[in-house]
Amino acid sequence: MAFDQSPHEDPTIPRLKRLMQIGSGNVVAINLINFIVNYREIWLGVLAFN
C-alpha cells in the first residue's frame, strides 16, 4: 500500500486499517451464520419433500 511508505503518516490511517480488519471479520462471521441458516432451511426442505 502507498500509505505505508509516507514518513508523516496520518495516525488515523492505522486505526482505519484496524477497523477494516475487524469489519471484514464481522462480515465473514455474518456470512457464515447466513450460510448455516440457509443450509439448515434447505436441508429441512429436502427432508420435508422426502
pLDDT at 27: 87
* Residue 4: inside a domain: no
Q: Which residues contact 13 (CB under 8 A, 6 or more apart)?
A: 3
Q: Is the pLDDT of residue 2 over 80?
A: no
Please tell me the predicted confidence (pLDDT) of residue 23: 79
Answer whether residue 6 shows pLDDT above 70: no
* Assigned domain for 40 exists: yes
Range 40-50 average pLDDT: 84
**pLDDT tens digits for range 12-36:** 778 888 887 877 888 888 899 999 9
Domain of residue 32, residue span: 25-49
User: What sign results for the dihedral spanned by CA atoms 11, 12, 13, 15?
Assistant: positive
The pLDDT of residue 7 is 58
Report the SS3 class of residue 5.
helix
Contact present, 30 and 38 (Cβ < 8 Å): no
pLDDT at position 20 is 77
- Classify residue 11 by its DSSP letter: T
Grid cell digits, residue 50 = 422426502
Q: Specify if 14 maps to a domain.
A: no
